[in-house]
Amino acid sequence: MNKKKILLVVIVVAIGAVVLLNDNSTEEETRITPEPARDEATEERMAEVELEDAAITLYSEDETTKWELGAKSIQQFTEPEQVVLEEVEATISEDGVEQTSLRAARGDFDPRTGHLSFTGPITIESEDKLLQADSLNWNQVRNELIGQGNVLLKQSGMEITGEQFVSQIDLRRLRLSGEVEAITQQKVGEQNE
């Protein structure tokens, strides 16, 4: 799916929210407010659209990976074009099968380049792993997650720390680097083999 289609999805979500707000019902699940952006980088800009308790869906270029991103707040900016998500909860699927879930304090998406990044604290969970980091980028071309800062991997009675990691979306192939330390948690009477 190209970048124009992703932007189209964001615009459709925004239009849908406007239609819902213009409905005379008493429900207020999604609101659009013309408030200034709340972070330092976008402090002087005004959000063109702001949605509360909303979601967007992104796809990899080959459409095998799907990101369903829910957020407490989604702001769309122009000049430069940017979508900012606050208090993000996401599920990431490959070929229709959910692989991982993600929680992050903030997410940034550039619809022109397809660049998706998160700042933390960030927690990523798969069926058998828990991974934490301070920042995370999605390399859409290689379909990889690249995390940095205070990396912690927990799996099967072991904790591994490092400075950065590169992983496939499903967390099965994961490489930690920079001051890597491993701690095993064995029960009394167990032996390492």
Could you read off the pLDDT of 15-68 as tens digits, one per residue? 554 444 454 444 444 343 344 444 554 456 787 888 899 999 998 888 889 999
Structure confidence at residue 192 (pLDDT): 46
What CATH code is assigned to 3-184? 2.60.450.10
What are the residue boundaries of the structural domains of the chain, listed by start? 3-184
Structure confidence at residue 146 (pLDDT): 94
Residue 51 · residue 17 · CB < 8 Å? yes
What tokens does 102 get?
């993600």
Q: 């400075």: which residue's tokens? A: 163
Question: Could you tell me the pTM of the whole model?
Answer: 0.69
Structure confidence at residue 20 (pLDDT): 47
Alpha carbon distance 21, 150 (integer Å): 42
- Which residue would you say has higher pLDDT here, 22 or 180? 180
Structure confidence at residue 23 (pLDDT): 47
C-alpha closest to that of 51 among 1, 15, 94: 15
What count of Cα atoms within 13 Å lies in the side-chain half-sphere of residue 91? 8
C-alpha closest to that of 135 among 108, 114, 112: 108
